[in-house]
């Protein structure tokens, strides 16, 4: 921090100095209390404090006490929970910016800060991006204190460690690192803090800033290697697996590290439903994720190079549909894919009411018209729309975007080189994913390197009483056991069956 | 040297995919040609040499932990002789890779995409291999592990689905022409299995060499098992006379798969051999570049990958005129040459190491 300026000896000088620091900003309120023996001044930033608290717990007690010299020695009669004497003007300014009220006293000149947090906050609402049918309905807000509370209210343990950092040379954004002592790997916790402390940036407005700065160095990748979520239960589940959460002030999206590929394919609702249903949905979602980037390429490859594989009747039907279509199949699919991407982009940015109109025009009119005008074969429309639905069923937005990019690459490869190009693309993709690491943990982690125990949570979900271990790569070696696995109710509380 | 570690399973899995796939595509016709109906007897006979070479490779690795072939050759034979042997072994790997790559390329060219130049295939597969090797041994091993599981399950499924075409009575009579044809097939199979010696360039990265010998023996057993299907299958499907004349009997077997309305699953073949040839190229290219780097005293082998890959492509295009020539070479010359370098040289190395009483972790090294 910069050099500390001590307080001046006179009240007016102090007020002036602080006002000077803020450049006489109009939202810095100065309230002079003309107490008979001891003139005082209250300073606060109107938009950051709660006026009611200031009036009720700071101004009122001060005025009523009448305050003489003696009471100043015993401390001010201020009724807020955090109250602190300040030594320098810089410290005073910092407290002001955190939403505190400064109390400046004269003869001797002193400064105190009382916490009067306020300002507008969004109430806790349902998560917009990850909705569930069954499960907690709250989500993070933009206020970091509320977010920490949401986590604390789920994990009532002293092992929960909360580390506050301020990052951003101008914004001083509060960043909080949260982990469970004894479950998280120490080396990962230190690594997270080291990487965060190295950040040198003017401001952080969203956790994506942090994500891009601290992710592992692996060259270019479209895949997110840090998981972001706005659901506190998801963060807590991560913490219980030994992961580390990073909360960022000003955004409801928390980061979870280290994160692996399967995390992005599963919804937290998989853990709130019956395990057999959840297993089915997990398999389904994995398949749709793969389809969401392979399908257009596969379709083009089949129709361009490997017609012999298509059953004869289907081939005749497809060929019949495409009679009179002027474009090659690859061009056709590319046009439709691009159209779909444009539609999606247009739909997101528009107000909801117009968005519906866009989807009607785009989906119905364009698709239907293109087919009936003979520009596009119906098979292509089916393929493209199925791909779109598959990509919507991916629970994580970050990885769905990645699959959008990969889709076009695979499309190109299979249009030019056929099956060989397509499979080369897939092989390249697998090498690439294998290359990725998230805080040292391989991205494909329980799949390769192979950890059999973690497969209870890959593709299938075992019932909760069987989930006896924590992930091999993320949990500390001493904390691999989640539970003893004897808590399955066997109908007999005493442990011995009556004969 | 950066600390990269792979597990024993991963290393051995590299060996399996490095050998099986090229064997299935290129060696099956050779063996069928030599041994005819008795190919399965050749396989049974080849089990023991296979176990032997697996044992030799593993025990050399156990004896010199953390050292590649070209390094311990120099320890065993002294600096100059060792270097000569090192280069010989690298050239052997190189030559083997160029033969196989050409074979794969010819397969694609003949069977899948006849109008695409072979160079497209060669460059494609080498780009993948270069990318994998430059990403490090760990990535390479993990990728191969992932693929091999797919490969094996698909292979088993394919052999089950081709079952309906097979008539195992075609394998009779046994030993119609005596043991000689079977012996010829055995030699050819041995020459294929001896390339497992290339694992000596991967074993130094293995975390611990405990139980390596046992696991290596199991691996060789698995390898032999994996050849039962195609060796008996081709004869059982096509009969002796037809299967001998086929260039790619295993591929033709796959082609005959019919599941409901689905037929002509060429795609499965492309998938199998893309994954498999990737495994082969990646393993050998890694071995070659690492070997050259060690012999020349370079600290980073990764910068060599691209030039060596280009060299492999060019050489593979020039070392035979056509698939028939390649095939004849594999049948008539390759067995003796491969057994000499892949089996006899390692045996000699192990013998010398035993005689000179070179134990694990010698002082200094």
Reduced to 3 states, what is the DSSP secondary structure of residue A442? strand
**Shortest alpha-carbon distance between residue B7 and chain A (Å):** 9
Q: How many CB pairs under 8 A join A and B?
A: 89
Distance CA B245, CA B252 (A): 12
The token duo for A443 is 């991205």
Can you tell me the mean pLDDT for A259-266?
91
Do B143 and A448 lie within an 8 Å CB cutoff?
yes
Mutation for testing the A interface, residue in B14, B107, B112, B146 having most A CBs under 10 Å = B146
pLDDT band at residue A79 under the 50/70/90 scheme: confident
Mutation for testing the B interface, residue in A302, A314, A418, A431 having most B CBs under 10 Å = A431
Distance CA B40, CA B125 (A): 32
DSSP secondary structure letter of residue A122: P
Distance CA A192, CA A438 (A): 11
Q: Please, what is the angle between helix B180-193 and helix B8-22, to 10°?
A: 130
Residue A133: phi and psi, rounded to 5, are -85, -50
Do B124 and A311 lie within an 8 Å CB cutoff?
no
ipTM score: 0.92
Q: Is B363 part of any domain?
A: no
The token duo for B233 is 């299958």
pLDDT number for residue B365 = 37
Q: Please, what is the angle between helix A378-392 and helix A275-304, to 10°?
A: 150
Q: Is B361 part of any domain?
A: no
Q: Is B277 part of any domain?
A: yes
Higher pLDDT, A108 or B7: B7
Mutation for testing the B interface, residue in A423, A451, A455 having most B CBs under 10 Å = A423
The token duo for A211 is 């994500």
pLDDT number for residue A1 = 45
Instruction: Closest CB to A420: pick one of B10, B113, B147.
Output: B113
- Domain coverage including residue B242: 8-355
Whether omega before B157 lies within 30 degrees of 0, making that bond cis, reads no
**Shortest alpha-carbon distance between residue B195 and chain A (Å):** 24
Distance CA A264, CA A396 (A): 5
Boundaries of every domain in chain A: 11-115, 144-259, 273-442
| Span of A79-88, A198-207, A490-499, B93-102 with lowest mean pLDDT | A490-499
pLDDT number for residue A140 = 94
**pLDDT tens digits along A95-107:** 888 888 888 887 6
Q: Which residues of B touch A442 (CB under 8 A)?
A: 142
Distance CA B233, CA A167 (A): 67
Mutation for testing the B interface, residue in A427, A445, A458 having most B CBs under 10 Å = A427
pLDDT number for residue A424 = 93
Distance CA B260, CA B258 (A): 6
pLDDT number for residue B2 = 47
pLDDT number for residue A268 = 86
Highest mean pLDDT range out of A307-311, A365-369, B145-149? B145-149
The dihedral sign for the CA sequence B115, B120, B121, B122: positive
pLDDT number for residue B364 = 40
Can you tell me the mean pLDDT for A332-358?
84
pLDDT at A66 over 70: no
Domain total in chain B: 1
Q: Which residue has the tokens 């209870």?
A: A456
Do A308 and B262 lie within an 8 Å CB cutoff?
no
DSSP3 helix / strand / coil % (chain A, rounded to 5) = 50, 15, 40
Distance CA B229, CA B248 (A): 15
B354 touches chain A (CB under 8 A): no
Q: Residue A302: which of A367, A385, A379, A391 has the closest Cα?
A: A379
Distance CA B135, CA A427 (A): 14
pLDDT number for residue A485 = 67
Distance CA B68, CA B316 (A): 25
CB atoms within 10 A of CB A272: 14
**Shortest alpha-carbon distance between residue B136 and chain A (Å):** 8
Instruction: Closest CB to B124: pick one of A417, A434, A448.
Output: A417
Say if CB A474 and CB A258 are below 8 A apart. Answer: yes
Can you tell me the mean pLDDT for A271-298?
93
pLDDT number for residue B231 = 87
pLDDT number for residue A466 = 86
pLDDT at A491 over 80: no
Mutation for testing the A interface, residue in B21, B143, B256 having most A CBs under 10 Å = B143
Count Cβ atoms within 10 A of the Cβ of residue B346 and give its class: 0-12 exposed, 13-18 middle, 19 or more buried.
buried
Say if CB B126 and CB B274 are below 8 A apart. Answer: no
Can you tell me the mean pLDDT for A303-313?
86
pLDDT number for residue A493 = 60
Which residues fall within 8 angstroms of residue A298, CB to CB, at 6 or more apart? A414, A422
Which residues of A lie inside 8 Å of B (Cβ-Cβ)?
305-306, 308-309, 311, 313-314, 417-421, 423-424, 427-428, 430-432, 434-435, 442, 444, 447-450
Count Cβ atoms within 10 A of the Cβ of residue B35 and give its class: 0-12 exposed, 13-18 middle, 19 or more buried.
buried
Do B142 and A311 lie within an 8 Å CB cutoff?
no
B361 touches chain A (CB under 8 A): no
- In chain B, which residue's Cα lies nearest the Cα of A308? B264
The distance from CA A321 to its chain's CA centroid, rounded to whole angstroms, is 45
Helices vs. strands in chain B: H and E counts, helices first: 15, 2
Helices vs. strands in chain A: H and E counts, helices first: 17, 12
Q: Residue A294: which of A210, A383, A228 has the closest Cα?
A: A383
DSSP string, A322-372: TTT--S-HHHHHHHHHHHHHHHHHHHHHS-HHHHHHHHIIIIIIIHHHHHH
pLDDT number for residue A483 = 81
Residue A177: phi and psi, rounded to 5, are -100, 125
pLDDT band at residue A68 under the 50/70/90 scheme: low
Q: Which residues of B touch A314 (CB under 8 A)?
A: 261
Q: Residue B338: which of B45, B32, B53 has the closest Cα?
A: B53
Q: What is the mean pLDDT of chain A?
A: 87
Q: Which residues of A touch B142 (CB under 8 A)?
A: 434, 442, 444, 448-449
| Span of A108-112, A426-430, B91-95 with lowest mean pLDDT | A108-112
- H or E segment to which residue A85 belongs: strand A83-86
Instruction: Closest CB to B124: pick one of A424, A430, A434.
Output: A424
**Shortest alpha-carbon distance between residue A150 and chain B (Å):** 39
Q: Is B364 part of any domain?
A: no
DSSP string, B265-277: -HHHHHHHHHHHH
Q: What is the CATH number of the domain that holds B241?
A: 1.20.1740.10
pLDDT at A157 over 90: yes
Do B112 and A418 lie within an 8 Å CB cutoff?
yes
- In chain B, which residue's Cα lies nearest the Cα of A302? B267
pLDDT number for residue A232 = 94
Looking at chain A, the whole-number percentage of residues with pLDDT higher than 90 is 38
Cα distance between the two ends of chain A: 75
Can you tell me the mean pLDDT for A479-491?
77
Which residues partner with A161 through β-bridges? A179
The distance from CA B7 to its chain's CA centroid, rounded to whole angstroms, is 20
Looking at chain A, the whole-number percentage of residues with pLDDT higher than 70 is 95
B113 touches chain A (CB under 8 A): yes
Do A306 and B142 lie within an 8 Å CB cutoff?
no
Q: What is the pLDDT along chain B (365 residues), one digit of tens a residue?
A: 346 788 888 999 999 988 988 888 889 989 998 888 888 899 999 999 999 999 999 999 988 888 899 999 998 988 899 999 999 999 999 999 999 999 999 998 888 888 889 999 999 999 999 999 999 899 999 999 999 998 899 888 888 888 888 888 888 888 888 888 899 999 999 999 999 999 999 999 998 888 889 999 999 999 999 998 888 888 888 888 888 888 888 888 888 888 877 777 778 888 888 888 999 999 999 999 999 999 998 888 888 999 999 999 999 999 888 888 888 898 889 998 899 998 999 999 999 998 887 766 544 43
- In chain A, which residue's Cα lies nearest the Cα of B114? A305
Report, in angstroms and rounded to the nearest whole number, the Rg of chain A calculated over CA atoms.
30
Can you tell me the mean pLDDT for A143-150?
92
């Amino acid at each position: 921090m910069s050099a500390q300026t001590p307080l001046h000896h006179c009240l007016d000088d102090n007020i002036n100095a602080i006002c000077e620091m803020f450049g006489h900003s109009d939202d810095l309120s100065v309230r002079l209390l003309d107490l008979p023996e001891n003139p005082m001044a209250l300073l606060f930033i109107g938009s950051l404090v709660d006026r009611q608290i200031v009036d009720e717990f700071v101004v009122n007690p001060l005025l009523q006490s009448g305050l003489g010299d003696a009471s100043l020695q015993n401390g001010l009669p201020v009724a807020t929970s955090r109250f602190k004497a300040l030594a320098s003007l810089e410290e005073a300014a910092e407290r002001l910016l955190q939403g505190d009220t400064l109390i400046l006293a004269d003869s001797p000149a002193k400064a105190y800060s009382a916490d009067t947090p306020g300002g507008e906050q969004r109430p806790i609402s349902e998560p917009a991006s990850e909705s569930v049918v069954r499960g907690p309905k709250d989500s993070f807000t933009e206020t970091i204190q509320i977010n920490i509370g949401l986590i604390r209210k789920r994990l009532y343990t002293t092992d929960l460690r909360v580390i506050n950092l301020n990052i951003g040379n101008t914004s001083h954004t509060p960043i909080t690192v949260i982990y469970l002592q004894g479950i998280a790997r120490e080396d990962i916790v230190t690594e997270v803090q080291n990487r965060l402390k190295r950040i040198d940036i003017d401001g952080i407005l969203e956790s994506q800033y942090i994500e891009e700065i601290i992710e592992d160095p692996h060259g270019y990748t479209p895949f997110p290697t840090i998981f972001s979520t706005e659901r506190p239960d998801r963060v807590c589940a991560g913490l219980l697996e030994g992961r580390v959460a990073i909360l960022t002030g000003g955004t409801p999206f928390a980061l979870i590290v280290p994160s692996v590929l399967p995390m992005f394919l599963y919804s937290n609702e998989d853990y709130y439903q019956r395990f057999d249903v959840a297993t089915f949905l997990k398999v389904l979602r994995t398949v749709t994720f793969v389809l969401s980037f392979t399908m257009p390429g596969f379709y083009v490859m089949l129709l361009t190079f490997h017609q012999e594989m298509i059953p004869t009747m289907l081939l005749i039907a497809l060929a019949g549909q495409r009679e009179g279509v002027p474009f090659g199949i690859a061009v056709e699919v590319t046009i439709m894919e691009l159209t779909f991407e444009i539609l999606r982009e247009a739909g997101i940015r528009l107000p909801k009411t117009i968005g519906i109109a866009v989807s009607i025009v785009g989906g119905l009119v364009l698709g239907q018209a293109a087919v009936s005008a003979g520009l596009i074969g119906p098979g292509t429309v089916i393929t493209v729309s199925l791909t779109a639905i598959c990509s919507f069923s991916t629970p994580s937005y970050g990885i769905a975007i990645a699959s959008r990019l990969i889709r076009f690459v695979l499309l190109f490869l299979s249009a030019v080189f056929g099956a060989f190009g397509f499979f080369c693309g897939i092989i390249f993709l697998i090498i690439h994913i294998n290359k990725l690491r998230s805080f040292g943990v391989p991205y494909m982690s329980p799949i390769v390197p192979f950890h059999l125990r973690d497969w209870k949570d890959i593709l299938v979900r075992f019932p909760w009483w069987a989930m006896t271990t924590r992930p091999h790569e993320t949990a500390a070696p001493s904390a691999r056991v989640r539970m003893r696995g004897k808590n399955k109710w066997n109908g007999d509380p005493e442990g011995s069956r009556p004969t | 040297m950066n600390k990269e570690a792979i597990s024993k399973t991963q290393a051995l899995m590299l060996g399996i995919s490095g050998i099986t796939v090229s064997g299935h595509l290129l060696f099956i016709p050779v063996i069928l040609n030599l041994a005819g109906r008795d190919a399965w007897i050749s396989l049974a006979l080849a089990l023991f040499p296979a176990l032997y070479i697996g044992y030799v490779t593993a025990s050399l690795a156990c004896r010199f932990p953390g050292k590649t072939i070209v390094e311990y050759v120099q320890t065993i034979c002294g600096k100059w002789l060792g270097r000569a042997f090192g280069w010989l072994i690298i050239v052997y790997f190189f030559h083997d890779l160029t033969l196989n790559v050409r074979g794969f390329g010819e397969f694609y060219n003949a069977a899948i995409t006849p109008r695409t130049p072979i160079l497209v295939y060669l460059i494609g597969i080498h780009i993948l291999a270069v990318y994998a090797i430059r990403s490090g041994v760990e990535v390479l091993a993990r990728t191969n592990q992932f693929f091999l599981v797919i490969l094996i399950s698909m292979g088993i499924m394919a052999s089950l689905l081709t079952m309906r075409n097979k008539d195992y009575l075609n394998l009779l009579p046994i030993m119609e022409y005596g043991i000689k044809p079977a012996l010829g097939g055995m030699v050819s199979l041995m020459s294929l299995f001896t390339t497992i010696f290339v694992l000596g360039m991967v074993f130094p990265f293995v975390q611990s060499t405990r139980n390596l010998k046992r696991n290596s023996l199991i691996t060789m057993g698995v390898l032999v098992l994996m050849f039962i299907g195609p060796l008996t299958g081709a004869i059982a499907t096509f009969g002796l006379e037809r299967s001998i004349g086929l260039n790619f009997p295993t591929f033709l077997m796959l082609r005959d798969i019919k599941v409901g309305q689905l037929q002509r699953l060429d795609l499965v073949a492309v998938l199998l051999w893309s994954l498999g040839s990737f495994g082969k190229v990646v393993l050998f290219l890694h071995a070659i570049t690492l070997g050259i780097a060690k012999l020349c005293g370079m600290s980073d082998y990764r910068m060599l990958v691209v030039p060596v890959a280009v060299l492999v492509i060019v050489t593979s295009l020039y070392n035979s005129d056509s698939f028939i020539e390649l095939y004849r070479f594999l049948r008539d010359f390759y067995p003796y040459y491969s057994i000499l370098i892949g089996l006899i040289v390692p045996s000699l190395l192990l013998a010398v190491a035993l005689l000179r009483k070179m134990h694990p972790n010698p002082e200094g090294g």
